[in-house]
Amino acid sequence: MKRIVTLSAFTLVIAFVMAGCQSNTDNIMQDQIDELRNQLEINQNELEIANARIKELQDELEKIVEQLRIDSGEANMDEQSSQPESDSEGIIVIDIRSNGQKNISQSSSFSADANQVLTLEIQSSITGGFVDFFLFSPSNQEQRITIGEGDENKTINLSEGIWGYNCTGLFDSGNIVIIGTVQ
């Protein structure tokens, strides 16, 4: 009987130890679950903050795009209103525009008869740079016009043949329009 009491006491001790271990394991698992829930709440809060910031940035981007549309429309209207008038008998052979860009690069050619005149009408509001306009005669003689800020007109006597031109330049701001009319 002593053995049975000892065995029963031993069984009780084991049962209490296991119950304590189970309780301890349950506590550890509950702590881990609580920690995961806290982390989930933190992540959800961070996600809400990130989504709010994304919305703010989208709103700012929409405002910038709208302002660019407005600015672009105003720039196009300004350029259209500042187009020089050409003589109704002349033929426009050169039409160069910066169109709001900060650089310009254009080359082409046109045909002229003997004793015709090329009239260049230049309208420039560029700052922080300049534009070079090169005109090449049929005999490959070069005429160079350097353009800064300001409007001007140039008249050039033409000989028969193919005339070439090249216009290049960099500037910080402003627009430039060069219209060449042959009469």
Q: How many domains does the chain have?
A: 2
Q: Are 1 and 32 members of one domain?
A: yes
Please count the other Cβ atoms lying within 10 Å of the Cβ belonging to residue 34. Answer: 10
DSSP letter assigned to residue 156? E
Tokens encoding 129: 């740079």
* Statement to judge: residues 93 and 177 lie in one domain: yes
The SS3 call for residue 134 is: strand
Looking at per-residue pLDDT, the higher value among 13 and 59 belongs to 59
In which residue are the tokens 């052979």 written? 93
Same domain, 98 and 178: yes
Last residue of a domain, one of 33, 62, 81: 81
What does the pLDDT look like over 19-55, one tens digit per residue? 665 667 778 888 888 888 888 888 888 878 877 888 7
> Per-residue pLDDT tens for 126-159?
999 999 999 999 999 999 999 999 999 999 999 9
Q: How confident is the model at residue 97 (pLDDT cuts 50, 70, 90)?
A: very high
Q: Which of 20, 46, 81 is the last residue of a domain?
A: 81
- Domain of 7? 1-81
Neighbours of 49 (CB within 10 A): 10
- 77 with 121, same domain? no
Higher per-residue confidence, 35 vs 168: 168
Residue 11 DSSP symbol: H
Q: Are 128 and 173 a contacting pair, CB within 8 Å?
A: yes
Element housing 71 (H / E): helix 2-81
β-strands 130-136, 103-112: how paired? unpaired
Q: 96 and 75, same structural domain?
A: no
Q: With a cut of 50, say whether residue 85 has pLDDT above it.
A: no
Does residue 59 share a domain with residue 95? no
Residues 67 and 110 placed together within one structural domain of the fold: no
Given a cut of 70, whether residue 15 has pLDDT beyond it is no
Q: Which residues pair with 120 in a beta bridge?
A: 154, 180
Please list the residues that pair with 181 across neighbouring strands: 92, 119
